[in-house]
């Protein structure tokens, strides 16, 4: 069963804590993306990676970090420097580096601050 999985579905963060959101894909896609969605709004790009061991900042990278050690995995860490982390986080992928094709999305992780 191919697709993109994100875990957990809900995540709670305490102040000053770093938390990591998981994104895994078995579609053999090269490029992966992380977006943030606030209520009633569109998606904003946090980070993206077009190939293993390489990634670029998106429009709102401050307070976030990523790694891309494996093709299948692109975890996102929300650091304590992100002062307003409450949002819905979506991971996506596309088949080929540099392609302009559609993106395939995971089901999302909702992050809440305690």
Tell me how crowded residue 36 is: count the other CB atoms within 10 A of its CB.
Answer: 22
Residue 44 near residue 59 (C-beta atoms within 8 A): yes
Residues that bind other proteins (CB under 8 A): 4, 31, 33, 35, 40-45, 48, 50, 56, 58, 88, 90, 92, 94, 97-108, 110
Question: Of 84 and 102, which CB lies nearer to other proteins in the complex structure?
Answer: 102
Question: Of 59 and 69, which CB lies nearer to other proteins in the complex structure?
Answer: 59
Minimum separation from the CB atom of position 113 to other proteins (A): 18
Minimum separation from the CB atom of position 16 to other proteins (A): 28
**Cβ contacts of residue 82 below 8 Å, gap of 6+?**
62, 63, 64
Residue 12 near residue 114 (C-beta atoms within 8 A): yes
Minimum separation from the CB atom of position 15 to other proteins (A): 25
Question: Of 63 and 108, which CB lies nearer to other proteins in the complex structure?
Answer: 108
Minimum separation from the CB atom of position 97 to other proteins (A): 6
Question: Of 50 and 77, which CB lies nearer to other proteins in the complex structure?
Answer: 50
Residue 29 near residue 39 (C-beta atoms within 8 A): no
Residue 55 near residue 49 (C-beta atoms within 8 A): yes
């Amino acid at each position: 069963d191919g697709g993109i999985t994100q875990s957990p579905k809900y995540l709670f963060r305490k102040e000053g804590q770093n938390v990591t959101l998981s994104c895994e894909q078995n579609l053999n896609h090269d490029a992966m993306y992380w977006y943030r969605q606030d209520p009633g709004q569109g998606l904003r790009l946090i980070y993206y990676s077009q190939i293993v061991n390489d990634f670029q900042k998106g429009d709102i990278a401050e307070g976030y970090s990523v790694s891309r050690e494996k093709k299948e995995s692109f975890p996102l860490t929300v650091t304590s420097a992100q002062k307003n982390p409450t949002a819905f986080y979506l991971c996506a992928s596309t088949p080929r580096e540099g392609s302009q094709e559609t993106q395939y999305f995971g089901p999302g992780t909702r992050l809440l601050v305690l």
